[in-house]
Homo-oligomer: A and B are copies of this chain.
């Protein structure tokens, strides 16, 4: 059984930009990203999702990384938003609001046919 049935497909293509938006506030490491998203309720993700995603964003140049030691336990790789990442979030943000308004409209009245 998937992590959450219906919403799985909803997450596609949104998580990446959610993570970038979260990095606007402060650098985060993988476990922290998962934790914050879980606390949002509808965006549950697993490690198998987040680490490949973070790697992808790094190779696309949207984030820069840095290892930091911890007082106890394994070191953490922190992700920080790059300039091109900031630009990507801004563009996606506009796209998101347009898109979600269209969908809202359809669920409100069936699309106002014709």
How many of these chains are in the complex? 2
**Partner among B9, B25, B41, B102 whose Cβ is within 8 Å of the Cβ of A13:** B9
Asked if A103 and B43 make an inter-chain contact with CB atoms under 8 angstroms apart, the answer reads: yes
Stretch at the interface among A50-58, A59-67, A69-77, A105-113: A105-113
The minimal Cβ–Cβ distance linking A33 to chain B, given in whole angstroms, is 9
Question: Across the two chains, which residue of chain B brings its CB closest to A109?
Answer: B25
| A26 is an interface residue with CB less than 8 A from chain B | yes
Asked if A106 and B12 make an inter-chain contact with CB atoms under 8 angstroms apart, the answer reads: no
A95 to B43, CA, bound (A): 11
Residues on A lying within 8 angstroms of B by beta carbon are 6-10, 12-14, 18, 21-22, 24-26, 36-37, 40-43, 91-93, 95-107, 110-111, 113-114
